[in-house]
Structure 1
Amino acid sequence: MAKASNNIAMYLNVIFVVSLLLVITVESRSLLDSIVRGNSPPVCDEVVDVKIGDTCFEVATIFNLTTEFFDAINPNLNCTALFVGQWLCIDGSVLN
């Protein structure tokens, strides 16, 4: 019984390591693609925190931002899953 448990643990460890390597490989390719294309991450100069009922569109409108610029300075933001206290960038720059 102990040998079977050890084998299961070994297989789970191998699966974990392979999964970790795949994640690292995908993320490094994304970073490398950005560097090769010369894209820099956005620079955020000012943030606000999400209040109850806020939407991305409303925040962009309040701070006189176009939706394109708002999206560019908040590149990984999921506007359908905002949560209270989340920080949104409202001023910054996007360098290419």
Structure 2
Amino acid sequence: MAKPNDKVVSFILILSLLLFITLVESKITIHEGSSPKSEIECSKVVNVKDGDTCFDVSHTFGLGSDEFNAINPNLKCTALFVGQWLCVDGTLF
């Protein structure tokens, strides 16, 4: 029969393994989905207001979806929140 200490050690090892796998998967996802490294210089930002969507903001400032996404690379349009800053004019280099 396993001692309580053996159960705790086993639990910690399994938890550590799951954490390791999660970290490895997140790094793979980041590297697979990312484009070559580039810098973004944002020269104008706007504050998200209640009811704003990425489409509304990009349309208001005359940005195509590709351009808007390029200057806001980590933005999740499905999770905008009031007060969030969005880049609406920038340069990629």
- In terms of fraction of residues, the more helix-rich structure is 1
Runs (4+) off by over 4 Å: 30-35
- Are 1:15 and 2:25 matched, yes or no? no
State the AA in 2 paired with 1:84.
Answer: V
State the AA in 2 paired with 1:85.
Answer: G
Contact in 2 for aligned 1:50/1:83 (Cα 8 Å): yes
Q: Which of 49, 74, 77 is the equivalent residue of 2:75? A: 77
Contact in 2 for aligned 1:47/1:91 (Cα 8 Å): yes
CA distance in 2, matches of 1:24, 1:31: 11
Structure 1 unpaired stretches of 5+: none
- Residue matched to 1:25: 24
Number of residue equivalences: 90
State the AA in 2 paired with 1:59.
Answer: V
TM (norm. structure 1) is: 0.66
Q: Which of 61, 64, 78 is the equivalent residue of 2:62? A: 64
